[in-house]
Amino acid sequence: MKDLMVTERLSSGPFDAVLLIGFGGPQGREDIRPFLQNVLRARRIPPARFEAVVQHYELFDGVSPLTEITMRQAAGLRTRLAADGLQLPVYVGMRNWHPFLDDTLSEMALAGVQHNLGIILAAQHCYSSCGQYKQNVSQALSEPRNQKTAELKVTYVAGWHDHQGFVAANAECIRDALDTLPAALRQEARLVFTAHSIPQAMARVSRYEEELRESAALVAQHVGCKDWALAFQSRSGRPGDPWLEPDICDYLRAEVKTGLKSVIISPIGFVCDHVEVLYDLDIEAAEACRDLGLPMRRAASVGEHPMFLDMLADVVRQAHRRYGRGRPLPLVPANLPLPLELPPPAR
């Protein structure tokens, strides 16, 4: 009887479930190296660079907050959908650590899910942030662990880098950070947005940088700030290869020389705090600011902000309305072109 009840509930709309797709993160010191090996996917980087990233994680005892935050995001989304009468289960699948995407897809299939709505937890689009995740889903479905998984269909929500909920949540996080600056510095504070750097070759075949600037401009307008800039963090790969610049620390050192008085850093390219944000901004950038005598505050990422969770619910509702009269065709690309170089981010 329980199975029949689940089947009836799931068949009430165009989708049977929602899947949040994220990067993943280790949950202890023993996880650090296997996690990073998953991130690299057999790509070769110098051993010294690998060990340096290991040390970043060791500073946080090998625990990335990403997984816990994503689970709470899923719970918040589930609650909001239920309040709207959409009794959709919300699953979480990670690319690089537990709960692994393959395991979650198998779990969904065994639970009777067939038509799934996917949300990749990255607002701006490029191969690294979105394309490779879709490719992983496609591979998992084309090489299923069981026949039920092979029958699972995945459709992705529309883009949301300019959604008013995403914009408003970031704006409120920035205002909160701004309020912690001494009053005399607030008017002169520059708002600097950051995102993960990617190879320029990858950037040229995506809207990643354009979408970042669109997001940033909308957030700055919402805050009422005209003095803003975009910088990048977490660069990896070969030193000689061109990546998106400026690096956030290089930017701060250069701008202090031209009169920068104080700064608010907003990690708009990330939807939750994790080791990349915590190390690159709260340790490296903060240390650079101390050395420069530059007052700095870091705005929180949107994480579990109620406006961000409301936004996730809204994009699900939009998809539900869009496909309400019929099942969508699965939007799972089978053969995405690979970029010239894949960045091995250390999140």
Q: Residue 71's domain is classified under what CATH number?
A: 3.40.50.1400
What is the full per-residue pLDDT of the chain (347 aa) written as tens digits?
333 323 333 335 899 999 999 999 999 999 999 999 999 986 778 888 899 999 999 999 999 999 999 999 999 999 999 999 999 999 999 999 999 999 999 999 999 999 999 999 999 999 999 999 999 999 999 887 778 888 899 999 999 999 999 999 999 999 999 999 999 999 999 999 999 999 999 999 999 999 999 999 999 999 999 999 999 999 887 777 899 999 999 999 999 999 999 999 999 999 999 999 999 999 999 999 999 999 999 999 999 999 999 999 999 999 999 998 765 555 444 344 444 334 444 44
- Examine the domain organization and report whether 68 and 140 are in the same domain: yes
Query: Which sign, positive or negative, has the C-alpha torsion 264, 127, 271, 291?
Result: negative
Bridge partners of residue 236, in order along the sequence:
none
- Examine the domain organization and report whether 105 and 134 are in the same domain: yes
Instruction: Note down the domain range covering 290.
Output: 164-298
Q: Look at residue 334 and tell me if it is in a domain.
A: no
In this predicted structure, what is the pLDDT of residue 328?
57
- Examine the domain organization and report whether 11 and 87 are in the same domain: yes
- Examine the domain organization and report whether 223 and 171 are in the same domain: yes
Give me the DSSP letters along 98-137.
SSBHHHHHHHHHHTT--EEEEEES-SS-SIIIIIHHHHHH
Q: Look at residue 345 and tell me if it is in a domain.
A: no
In this predicted structure, what is the pLDDT of residue 329?
55
Query: Which sign, positive or negative, has the C-alpha torsion 332, 333, 335, 340?
Result: negative
- Examine the domain organization and report whether 118 and 230 are in the same domain: no
- Examine the domain organization and report whether 65 and 190 are in the same domain: no
Which long-range CB contacts under 8 A does 26-32 form with residues at least 24 apart?
Answer: 26/57, 26/62, 26/63, 26/64, 26/97, 27/62, 27/63, 27/64, 27/67, 27/97, 27/98, 28/61, 28/62, 28/63, 29/57, 29/58, 29/61, 29/62, 30/62, 31/62, 31/97, 32/57, 32/58, 32/62
| Rounded to 5°, angle at Cα 157 from 301 and 18 | 85
In this predicted structure, what is the pLDDT of residue 330?
52
pTM comes to: 0.90
CB atoms within 10 A of CB 116: 23
- Examine the domain organization and report whether 187 and 272 are in the same domain: yes
Domain count of the fold of the chain: 2
Q: Look at residue 337 and tell me if it is in a domain.
A: no
Bridge partners of residue 195, in order along the sequence:
232
In this predicted structure, what is the pLDDT of residue 335?
41
